Structure formats: structure tokens, C-alpha cells
Structure 1
Amino acid sequence: MGGGERTERIETGQDVPDAVIHGVPKAIRDKLAKLGITRDFDLILHLPLRYVDETHLYPIREAPLHHTVQVEGVVVQAEVRFRPRRQLVCLIEDATGSLYLRLIHFYPNQVKALQTGARVRLLGEIRQGFLGLEMVHPQFRVVKEAAPLKENLTPVYPTTAGLSQASLRALVAKALARADLADTLPEGVRRELELMEFSAAVRYLHEPPPDASLAGLEARDHPAWQRLKFDELLAQQLSMRRHAQLRRSRGAPVLNRQGELTARLRARLPFRLTAAQERVVAEIARDLAQPHPMHRLLQGDVGSGKTVVAALACAQAMDSGWQAAVMAPTEILAEQHYRKLADWFEPLGVRVAWLSASVSRKERAEWLRLIAQGEAPLAVGTHALFQEEVEFARLGLAVVDEQHRFGVAQRLALHNKGMNPHQLMMSATPIPRTLAMSYYADLDLSVIDELPPGRTPVLTKLVDESRRDEVIARIRAACREGRQAYWVCPLVEESEKLQLKAAQATYASLAASFPELRVGLVHGRMGVREKAEVMEAFKAGAIDLLVATTVIEVGVDVPNASLMVIEHAERMGLSQLHQLRGRVGRGAAASVCILLYQQPLSETARARLKIIYESADGFEIARQDLALRGPGEFLGARQSGLPMLRIADPTADEALMQAARDLAPRLLKRHPEAVERHLSRWLPQAEEYMKA
């Protein structure tokens, strides 16, 4: 259809033998690949964003304003005008009235097509303009009188540059004609669940009848949408459960001893474990004693005590004669783990290896030797732990903290250092129930749902940037009382584009404001050793006020720090704000987190600040964060290795997801051939998504 929308040729003289979508030139295949389309069935599952109605012609006088409508008329006047800017203006008339067609950007062929006397069909939004009723840049085409209308609503697909809607529609139509649309669900199961047939559902969504409700289609609550959502959720459940079955079929070290080391570690701890910690320790201990690999996610809010749970799991591995490794995504967090674990284990005679970018070549060589010979039964580090030259004598347990920050290949590389070692993944970002049901269906889940005694609640305050002087006075008062404080900035250097305060500029400003205080600076671009020295000085009380970027988000534990200021809090995500806030309130003193924000606030920013102000519960914050951001962004999907949902929404479609969860084990047991067909349709590369 016109308006400059050029139809691309999608035929070619010869098929490309190894192409999954045959008969399509490579240039178009490359564009399709950008949309995740590499085979015919990807085209069929590439569903419309919305629809337009080209099955109906409105008389111009009766066409509603501000709606996408189709009208037809004859060009009675056409001219290129130069005021206020160059534009093509045509007056279109039918038996009931007239409107103006305006093209601000146009080509010579469009001027030629829109000659006086031409009959044109327009699709666009009519509005009141300076000249009268007008359509600006509608789709249009020249037609003959009584030209037939479309028989179905017209789909509008997600696309990419250089791939027109007309081309996509033609490609989808050919795929529908070629593909096997037979149902993958056994007929009895489909009827039991009262689901539409697959073939009827996809045809309905790509070619809706003229009487279909546009509102119902675009709200995605039509039975055709329900069927496709269910199929996608079922594929996800089947894939993950099958992977879980595969893992259970593999042998793993049996770590069934909680012996002398475990007992001595418990005796050395300066605190008693909470009931929640004891519960998850027991869950993990049972898993480690099994002859198949543990694959467990340990969730706990900020400060809930996940590290000691991981330490007891490591002790069980070492009591059983195996090694353990603890991997963290950042130098600060990894070093925090190393210091804590070394403090607990080395007095018990356990050598704890430390591998990171800050370790010298000589130290690294010695640690590599001790790990390879089994003389260091516990190793802690960053991604340096899974480098090729690292060899473990007997790796039995791999602990991965903040696991969502590692790519699937990185987690797999650590896993491959042993013979199917048990895996314990930890996260301080609670996973809402709906996401856990969907994306972690193959994981066992342990939750620490209470905080240790002695943790003080953190009072959160929202303060406008205009009251900055009051905040500075509060910092001075807290530090004079012997307390320490954080001042968190989102960027290291000034950015005119974002207009955010930079850590370096803020540091200089605050150092000048507080000549009587010791002000420190830490950010991600500092050298590893320099960063560690600053953090150690802050922990030792040699720095009163620490200006920092979000590198302190996890892994920093300074009980004397009772005040935090977060600058430009409106720019940060909910989970990040909650993690930062968790750096205070770790001692006995009352703690405060001040969120400095700048007007004007967007609706999303206002909603985020309201949530973080009203709630200190990480699980409730995570649930609301999911509602604001959606699962892809919440999970860090681009590096998580998870097969992300394209059609279904685990929150909005919870009932469908529960039905898919219930059906998956039954299909795996009774209909394995249907499982194969379903997965090959929806997840042809399902093995790639196996979470390491």
C-alpha cells in the first residue's frame, strides 16, 4: 500500500539449499534474523502488534476523527506548496465531502501518482487541520472504481529497518501455506483444557475476520491468543523439566558428611543461625548427600545471612573430601566473601585460595598450584575462577553469588571444572513467585525469609534536590556523633546529556564542604588495589564519608555506617535502590537512607520512589518491580541464558502458567512424542538454554 511504502521482492531465482526459510534473498534473511526469525515457524510465531481495518470504507463525512479509518475519493486538486515548508497537498473528494492529503516528505513518483482525477484509497487518522479535515502521511494507493476491499483485518508486525509490512505479510502468508500446523497437544488434552486448535488460532491471529473485535485482539484476551500463550508457557515448562530430569540422571559427588569441620565452624560463629537459615541449611545438606547434582537457588533479602549458609555447604563438601568454589561478579563482593570465609575457615586449618584480577602473577601461580593439588580445598574469586588454566583436584560444590549477573557460558565454565559438581546459586534480588514458577521451574528454591536479630530497620526519606543544604547538615551531625555515611552518585564523570552529578565532582564539593571530615572516593574505574584500600579504610573507620558509585551495591558490610544519601534516586531501578539501602542498618544505631531526587519526575520514577519509600520488604519490592519493568529487564535476560517469553506474560497469565505447570509432568510421562513435537516447534534450540 502506497504512502511511500515500497514492496520488496521476496522471490529469488534459486533457493539457497541451506537456508531454513527457502526462496528468500540473503539480505532479507539477515533482516529477519534481527527479529529472531530463522525458519518458517518463526514467521508463524511472529505475531502482530496491532491491526488496521481495511475491510470497510467510510464516507468522508461520516469518518470519525482521531481513529485510523479507510476512505476513498478522487483527487480534485494537487499542488506542491512551499509555505510554511515544502509539502504536497491534495484535495480528495467523495460524494459526501472532502479532506486534504498532506505529504511533508514525498518522492516524484508520489507526485505523479496523485494527479488530478486519480482515485485513491487512504488509510490513516483524520484530524482537523489549518485547511480543514486532513490526513497527514496516510498509507495510500491508486485504485479503480469498485476495487475490492480486503477480506480480513490487516496485521501490523514488529519489524526492522528495510523490512516493510507488505514484505512481512507476504512472508507470513507463504509460511502459513507451507508449514505443518498440526496440533502438538493430544486431542483429549486440548479438549480437557478447552483450548482452540493451534491451526485455527494462528490463522485467526494473522488473518482476523472483518467482524473480529480490534479491542479484543489487541488486549490479547481472545481464545486464539490464549492458545498461543499456553503453548509458549508449556514449551518453557517442558524444556526446563526435561533439563532437570537430565541433570538428575547424571552422577555427582556424594557429599554426605557434616563432620568435624562443620561442627567447628558452627562453634566458631559469633552468632546463632535463625530458624530460616537452619531450614535452608538442612535443605541444601539433603541435596548435597544425593548422587545427582544439586541445582538450587538460595534467595534472601539484603542482610539475611546467605554467606554463612554457603559457608556451611562448603564445609560439608570439605568434610566429605571434596573442594568448593565461591564465585562473585565484582571484585568488591568477591573480596568481601574471601575475607569473611578466610576469617571463618583459616583458623580451622583450611587454606582459602583467592583468585582475581588484583592477585599478582606470582601469587596467582601459587594459588593455582594449591588448587590443582587439592591443598586449597576452598577457592574464592571473580570470573578468574573459570579461566582455562584453573584446575581443581576434586571440585564438588560451586557456589555462584548474584548468579543473574553472570552469562550462561560463564556459569557453565565453572561447572565444567568438576565432574558434575553440585551448584548453589545465590541472589539478594528476590524472584517474585510468578517468575520463579516460570523461569526457575527446573531449580529447587530455598528462601531465607527472616532477618538475623540485631538488624535495625532503615528509615527511608524522600528529599527534593532543592533541600540539599539540609542533607549536608545531617551528614555533618551524624559524623560528629562518630557515625559514618555513604553518598552515592550514579556516574563517575559529568555527562551534559544526562545532567547527573558525577562522583568526582561530588567528592570535590563535599570535601570542600566538610574540611573537618575525612572524605573518601570509590568508583568502578579505579584500580582494584586502590578500590580495596579505600574500602578497607572506610571499614576501619579511617574515612567518615565515602562518596561512591553503585559499586557498593553488594558485598559491603560496615556496621558503623548509619546514613546513606543516594543522589538522583529517580534514575535508579527499584532493586538497585533496595540493595544500596541495605548497606546501612547493619549495626545497632538507627539508620537513615535519604533519596535525593530532582524535579520533574516521570510517572515511572514517581512510582519507583513511592514503592521504595513505603516498603522495606525485598519480596514485595521485587513483585512491584516486575510489574513496572517486565520479566525480560527484571531478569537480565540478555545474558541469563533463559528462553524469554515473547507472547505470554508470567504475571498477567498466571492461570495459564499454572495449567502449563500441571500439564508438563503428565505429558513428559505419558506423551513423550508430543513433547518432542511441541519443543521442536517452540524451542528448536532448547539445549542452548540449559542453565549451567
Structure 2
Amino acid sequence: MGEKPELPEERSLRSVLHPKTAEAIARHLELETVGQLLEYFPRRYLPRGELTRFADLTLGQDVSIISRILSVSTRRLHTRRGSIAEVTVTDQLAPEGTQAGRVDGGFGGRLDGLAASGMVPSDSPAPGNVMTLSFFNAWTASKDLAAGDHVMFSGMVNEFRGQLTLTNPHYAVLTDTGQAGAPGDEPDPSVAPLPVYPATAKYTTDRIAASVAVVLDTVDLRQCTDPVPEDLRTRHRLMTAPQAYEAIHRPRDEEEPHKALRYFRYREALVLQTVLARRAAVLDAQRTSPYPARPGGVREVFDTNLPFRLTDGQRRVGEEIAADISRESPMNRLLQGDVGSGKTLVALRAMLQVVDAGGQSAMLAPTEVLATQHFRSILDTLGPLAEDVGVVVLTSSTSAGAKRQALLDIASGAAGIVIGTHALLGDNVSFASLGLVVVDEQHRFGVRQRHSLAGSDGEPVHRLVMTATPIPRSVAMTVFGDLAVSVLDELPAGRQEVSTHVVSLADHPAWEGRLWQRAREEVDAGRQVFVVVPTIGDDAPTSAATGGYDAPDSPLQSVEGLNRKLASLPALAGTRLATLHGRMDGAEKAEVMNRMAAGKVDILVATTVIEVGVDIPNASLMIIMDADRLGISTLHQLRGRIGRGGLEGTCLLVTEQNSDGPSMPRLQAVASTRNGFELSTLDLEQRREGDILGDSQSGHRSALKNLSVLRHAKIIEQARSDARALVERDPDLIEAPDLLRAVREAGDQANTEYLYRG
């Protein structure tokens, strides 16, 4: 058999464009194939009948603007050889009868040498509506540009003599006619929007448009692959792929780009949903050991001895999880609940059910402080039952002797519940019959770390991941249907609301002294205080210092520096201060937390190491310095450390920014709600979705090109339904070869390996 013919989208741009043009596109835009250029969409469209408002321009901004030329003058330079052309432009439209037309397809000159037909009005525009552009070595500009022309200029906004200007901008004259050709072949020049592409200083938007036009006119787009099957395209009234490419790059009116984006968004959602649907089919076919509830077992005794009543949410979620782990299909569930909503208790009851059925459970915690806290809390909660269950902890700081015994208990099955940090992921840890993995604060672990623990002989295990504020990726995966979701939406009895306030020291410098007076008042009332700062020492910022957000250049507060300052304040004289940070070894951290829990520390100055799991019921006040440097999830977690023992809590978000600062909306949002999903939605809006199919957690580089999980949820839901029905009917996608090809490209082993491990 001969080789398969090359698809149009696989063709090199060198085979379609002039070699120098193709080389420039590869160098400046990193695009090398026809498909890559076709998928390089405009970022916006300029209405041809409107001019760009100069009032909207800002210094240093890269812009593409449409304006009308008032005059062109050329003069010799006094200080060096050459000449300068000064082009005066306005953002006011010409009198009735002037038309703006089609963008020039070449580099700078007027299309076909035709001049615009507009005329300069006799009444001059107001000064604020006029800008003077400068062109050095000006022969070309003075030849191409004339009064009355409508021109698209591209360049960086700079300043000269107090006025905004563009220097040597790239330009393309808009004319009142289209390219040569049969009447009606071209879009109406009076209404066709002008695409503006993501461009560079050396490869401007009109040059990109010209190259795209050549591709559209040369390549037979009907031969391109179209992942959307015809029946789905017809059902949803979508464009074909060739129609969509034409409409996105050369729209005839302002509606066409929207129709094209409907196709491209649905196509993207369908491909991703089909990847997930095929993986879900694989997971559904997998089998693991079931762990049904046993009457009279440890969990039933535990429930009977609880000194309080489970909340309705804890009972409902507990039943969902109990049903999941009773089945042979592996559970893959997200448990979301605000800090203090009782997630750990729900997880403990599930782990006890597994122990009753002869299995083991592992709880992964991101820090030693949290792992140790979970260990002690579970021992206290179980009481005498702990001996029957067998509870061990394993961290990097566990002593050699204790580690040997823990590993033996894990391997023999004597340990029914194993709590640990990343140390549990080591090759030397071998479980006898691992049945359930609980991942606490799941965003602290990479995808493969979360899925590295497996049962005997690699058998999949049931998984429960817990978080108080889902990170953007988790919200995205929830919308995309990869995880079953349980929500704890009520606080247990005894938990108090925490009032949160933003304190701007820029607006109110005197409030800094009041901060420490408030701390003293809490201490005098017999309560305890957390003070959180983003760094350890004056010369050592931590990785959490910016929380994924841009930070200003002012120095950060540090544990060491602030502790020295507080020790010297008369307002805090006699208070017992302590510090806690990530550089301390496990024994030091444990000693500090033991003193804090015993009430022997009044004010604990710490980094975000206390973010999760720390339970000090007597703590009623938290002061977070440089709060603008921390992310939404971190702030939400931190304030959950107070108000845990029946005392009302107060959290103060302290910032050096003024009320108009860039981080203020984020801080005010945290202050206004305790709802974790609301905050994660805001986080998602600001940080994007992350890599839907891969390992990326930060969200700064979204794998989604045209989709937003917030704005396009209906499209995603429709694509999910279509993909599941399609895969159920045709698991191998024999009837949809183009979709299969796209699925293989999107869901290669490197990106979706973890989905097999669910």
C-alpha cells in the first residue's frame, strides 16, 4: 500500500507561502504548518466603520488602531541625514460620504495603489482627538499616506513632549474597494470587520492577515479533517470546518466570527469530552476489591460512641462514599467542604469501613505538621478503638526505629490506617491490602503523586480527594465530569463564623498600632493569636510568597523580622511569642505546636505552614500580613484555623496597597464570603483552568484555547452528553475517524496517563 496523502493542515507553510514569508512566520510566531496558521485566531476585530478612540490608549501598550489622516508633512532632519514624515491623525470620522474599506494585503502600501475617497473636513477636530505620528526616513510613508485616508497603524504607544504618539508604526491603508475579482466575491468593505491578530513588533497583524488570506485562497479546506461528525454538526447547526476557518479569518459581517467560534468551542469540548469518555469506559471496565459496611464492626461502634450528632451533610456524604467503596468499580470522588466542615471525620468513617472489610487505608497529607495533627486527632477521636484499628504515621522525620516498625505494620496489614506525607510514596512502602487512599488538600500533590499508590498487584484502589477550596484545575475537572463530587455545605455544631476584614495600611497607617492592641486584647481575654507572614527571614522569600499572583517590589514581612518587632512592642510586653516555619525540623515544629495546643503560646508568628489542618480551638484572632501576596485558596485556608472551639473568630487581611490596589478586589472577595466554591470560581476567573488533561496545576497557561469552563458550561455539558453517547455506540470511533485522530492527538499517553489510574 502507498503512503497516506498529506492532509492540508499538515502541509508546510513553505509549500504555500513565499519561503521568506514562511521563514518569518516560523521565526516570529513559531508557526510552521498550514494547520497551525489556520488555528492562529484573531484576538479581536475592529469595526471598519468606526475609528479607535485615542482616549482608550495607554503608554507602553502595543496597539492596532484605525484612524483618519488629517495631514502629511515631510521635513529634513537637522541633526543627521534623512527626513521625517509627520502624519497627523484623528479618531473622528470623516464627513458623510467617506468610506473605510478593505485592509491592504501587502507590507505597508495601499491595496492596488487606490486612494481612499474620503475628504478632510474643514472644521478641525478637538486637540484630544488628534495625534501626530512620526516616520523617520520618510519617503515610503509620505508616498503611501495622504489626507483623508483611513489607515490601520500598529505599534507601541510612547510619549513625545507630553503627548501620546506612535513612532515608525506599521501601517495598512484601508480603501473603499476590495481586491480585484468578480463583483460579490469579497466581503462588503463597509461592514466586514478587520481581524487583529496576536502580533509581534516585527510581524504585524496585517502581515499575518495577508498570509492567512493566501492560505485560504490556495489550500482546499474541504480536504481538512473535521473532528465533529456530520450528524452532530447538523443537530447543533454548526458550520463546517472550511466555513468556520473562512468566517474566523475573513468574516463578512460582525456575526460570522461568533458563529465560527461556536463551531471551534464545540469541537474543542467534544474532543476533550471524548478523551474523558473513553477513559471513563476503561475505568468502568476495571475492577477493584469492594469494601461493604459490616454490621457490628468498628465503624458502627465508633458511630455509636460519638459524643455529638453528625450533620445532615456528613451523613449524606458518608452514605455516598460508603456506597462507592462497596462496589467493584473504583471510586474517584472529590469531597469539598469549607474549613471546619468535618471532612476528616467523613474520611475517617470511610477508612473504618475499609478496615472492617479487611483492607487498609492511607491518608496523604502535604506537610508533616498536618500529618502529625491528623495522627493525633484520629487517635483521640478513636479512643480505645485505635488499638483494634492500628494507626501509624510515617513522615520523613519519623525516627529510624519507628519507621522500621511502621513499615512492618504496613506490610503485614497490622496497620489499618496509615497517615503520612510524601514519604508514603516511597518504593520501600508496601501495603498488604490497600483499599482506600484519602488525599487531604489535594492541590498540594501532583497528579501522578496522587495516583501513585495502588493496591496489591497494581490493582486500582478507591480514591477520596479532599479540599476546602478547589484550585482552578479541580473546578475545571469537576465541570468536565472527571470526578464525582460531594459537598459539605454546613458547619458542625460549635463552629463559629469568622468575620474577615481588609486592613489597608496605605490608606490608614495608624491602624498598624491598633493591630497589636487587638492582639493584646485577645491574649488578655485568655485567647490565642496567629500572625501569618509570607517569608521566613529577611533574605529568604518562600515559594508561597506570591501565591501565584504578581507582587509589588516592596519588602515582605518575615517571621524573624516581625517576631523581633513584636517582642519589642510595649503593647505586647509579657506575652509569650513563638515562631513556626518550614525550615524547622519535624521535632521543633511538633514542640511548638504542642506548646500552642497546651496554651503555653499566646501569639504564634508563622508562615503559611499552618495553612491546613492546624487545630487550636482557643485561637480567636488571625492577622495576615502582606495578604495581597497570597492566593485565594491560601487565605481561605488560613482563616479556617480560627473559630474552631466555639469562639467567634476575626481575620484581618493586612496590605500595604491602597483601596485602588490591584489585589483589593481579590481581598474584598475573600472577606465577603466563606463559600469555597464561590472563591474557587473567582480563582478560576483569575488564574484560568490549568492543563485539563495533564499535570499543570498553576493555571497560568491554560490548555483550553477557545473554551472557558465558566462561560461555556452549556457547550461543555452538551459535548459531554454527545461524547458519552458516541463512545457507548462506537467505542473505537470507527464511524468517526477524524474525531479519533483528534482524540489521539489531544489524549496522548504523556497527557492522560493518570486518567487510567483513577
Q: Identify the residue that residue 514 of structure 2 maps to in structure 1.
A: 470
1:34 deviates by 12
Contact 1:522/1:549 (CA < 8 Å) preserved in 2?
A: yes
C-alpha distance in structure 2 between counterparts of 1:206 and 1:618, whole Å: 40
C-alpha distance in structure 2 between counterparts of 1:171 and 1:331, whole Å: 57
Render the CA deviation track for 1:612-634: whole Å, top value 9, x for unaligned.
Answer: 33323333333344444443499
Contact 1:405/1:640 (CA < 8 Å) preserved in 2?
A: no
Against the structure 1 CA distance between its residues 22 and 596, is the aligned structure 2 distance closer, same or farther, given a 3 Å change threshold? same
Match 1:446 to one of 486, 503, 508: 486
Moved more, 239-248 or 362-371: 362-371
Q: Identify the residue that residue 237 of structure 1 maps to in structure 2.
A: 273
Match 2:84 to one of 89, 107, 121: 89
Q: Give the partner amino acid of 1:265.
A: F
Match 1:300 to one of 337, 357, 382: 337
Q: Identify the residue that residue 365 of structure 1 maps to in structure 2.
A: 404
C-alpha distance in structure 2 between counterparts of 1:531 and 1:87, whole Å: 71
Contact 2:687/2:698 (CA < 8 Å) preserved in 1?
A: no
User: TM-score scaled to structure 2, two decimals?
Assistant: 0.75
Question: Quick check: 1:505 aligned with 2:502?
Answer: no
* 1:373-392 matches, cutoff 5 A: 373-392=412-431
Moved more, 404-413 or 340-349: 340-349
Against the structure 1 CA distance between its residues 598 and 431, is the aligned structure 2 distance closer, same or farther, given a 3 Å change threshold? closer
Q: Identify the residue that residue 112 of structure 2 maps to in structure 1.
A: none
Against the structure 1 CA distance between its residues 64 and 503, is the aligned structure 2 distance closer, same or farther, given a 3 Å change threshold? closer
C-alpha distance in structure 1 between counterparts of 2:142 and 2:27, whole Å: 43
* 1:216-231 matches, cutoff 5 A: 222-231=258-267
Contact 2:477/2:483 (CA < 8 Å) preserved in 1?
A: no
Q: Which runs of 5+ in 2 are unaligned?
A: 1-5, 56-63, 89-114, 121-129, 181-185, 540-551
Q: Identify the residue that residue 615 of structure 1 maps to in structure 2.
A: 673
Moved more, 328-337 or 396-405: 328-337
Match 1:661 to one of 686, 695, 720: 720
Q: Identify the residue that residue 401 of structure 1 maps to in structure 2.
A: 440
Q: Identify the residue that residue 745 of structure 2 maps to in structure 1.
A: 684
C-alpha distance in structure 1 between counterparts of 2:24 and 2:396, whole Å: 39
Moved more, 532-541 or 116-125: 116-125
Contact 1:78/1:116 (CA < 8 Å) preserved in 2?
A: no
Q: Identify the residue that residue 10 of structure 1 maps to in structure 2.
A: none
Render the CA deviation track for 1:80-122: whole Å, top value 9, x for unaligned.
Answer: 5669xx997324599967995425xxxxxx7486497677996
Render the CA deviation track for 1:166-199: whole Å, top value 9, x for unaligned.
Answer: 8866886788637743443333332222222232
* 1:255-654 matches, cutoff 5 A: 255-259=291-295, 260-344=297-381, 347-415=386-454, 418-430=458-470, 435=475, 439-465=479-505, 466=509, 467-494=511-538, 497-513=553-569, 514-602=572-660, 604-632=662-690, 638-639=696-697, 644-654=703-713
Against the structure 1 CA distance between its residues 347 and 36, is the aligned structure 2 distance closer, same or farther, given a 3 Å change threshold? farther
Against the structure 1 CA distance between its residues 76 and 475, is the aligned structure 2 distance closer, same or farther, given a 3 Å change threshold? closer
1:243 deviates by 1.6
Match 2:240 to one of 186, 197, 206: 197
Match 1:123 to one of 152, 155, 169: 152
1:510 deviates by 0.9
C-alpha distance in structure 2 between counterparts of 1:131 and 1:266, whole Å: 75
User: TM-score scaled to structure 1, two decimals?
Assistant: 0.81
C-alpha distance in structure 1 between counterparts of 2:381 and 2:131, whole Å: 81
Percent of residue pairs bearing the same amino acid type = 34
Contact 2:480/2:720 (CA < 8 Å) preserved in 1?
A: no
Contact 2:341/2:490 (CA < 8 Å) preserved in 1?
A: yes
Contact 1:89/1:100 (CA < 8 Å) preserved in 2?
A: no
1:474 deviates by 1.3
Moved more, 510-519 or 72-81: 72-81
Q: Give the partner amino acid of 1:189.
A: L
Q: Identify the residue that residue 45 of structure 1 maps to in structure 2.
A: 39
C-alpha distance in structure 1 between counterparts of 2:268 and 2:634, whole Å: 30
Q: Give the partner amino acid of 1:68.
A: I
C-alpha distance in structure 2 between counterparts of 1:643 and 1:449, whole Å: 29
Render the CA deviation track for 1:485-531: whole Å, top value 9, x for unaligned.
Answer: 11111222347933332222111111222230110111223333322
1:46 deviates by 3.4
C-alpha distance in structure 1 between counterparts of 2:347 and 2:432, whole Å: 20
Q: Identify the residue that residue 670 of structure 1 maps to in structure 2.
A: 729
Q: Give the partner amino acid of 2:437.
A: A
Moved more, 522-531 or 117-126: 117-126
Moved more, 169-178 or 492-501: 169-178
Contact 1:41/1:175 (CA < 8 Å) preserved in 2?
A: no
Contact 1:280/1:447 (CA < 8 Å) preserved in 2?
A: yes
Render the CA deviation track for 1:553-592: whole Å, top value 9, x for unaligned.
Answer: 1111100101111122233333322211111110122221
Contact 2:530/2:605 (CA < 8 Å) preserved in 1?
A: yes
| SS, match of residue 450 in structure 1 | coil
Against the structure 1 CA distance between its residues 454 and 125, is the aligned structure 2 distance closer, same or farther, given a 3 Å change threshold? same
Contact 2:435/2:455 (CA < 8 Å) preserved in 1?
A: no
C-alpha distance in structure 2 between counterparts of 1:203 and 1:633, whole Å: 29
Q: Give the partner amino acid of 1:234.
A: L
Q: Identify the residue that residue 254 of structure 1 maps to in structure 2.
A: 290
Render the CA deviation track for 1:233-280: whole Å, top value 9, x for unaligned.
Answer: 222322223222211101111112435222233245443321111111
1:392 deviates by 1.7
Contact 1:65/1:125 (CA < 8 Å) preserved in 2?
A: no
Number of aligned positions between the proteins: 653
Q: Identify the residue that residue 134 of structure 2 maps to in structure 1.
A: 102
Moved more, 124-133 or 284-293: 124-133
| SS, match of residue 616 in structure 1 | coil
1:428 deviates by 1.0
1:348 deviates by 3.2
C-alpha distance in structure 1 between counterparts of 2:344 and 2:599, whole Å: 24
C-alpha distance in structure 2 between counterparts of 1:572 and 1:444, whole Å: 29
Render the CA deviation track for 1:458-497: whole Å, top value 9, x for unaligned.
Answer: 1223333221111211111111121101111122234793
C-alpha distance in structure 1 between counterparts of 2:611 and 2:588, whole Å: 18
C-alpha distance in structure 2 between counterparts of 1:537 and 1:521, whole Å: 11
C-alpha distance in structure 2 between counterparts of 1:499 and 1:192, whole Å: 58
Q: Aligned Cα RMSD in Å? A: 4.4
Render the CA deviation track for 1:107-138: whole Å, top value 9, x for unaligned.
Answer: xxx74864976779963179997699964331
Q: Give the partner amino acid of 2:245.
A: V
Contact 1:237/1:661 (CA < 8 Å) preserved in 2?
A: yes
Moved more, 640-649 or 381-390: 640-649
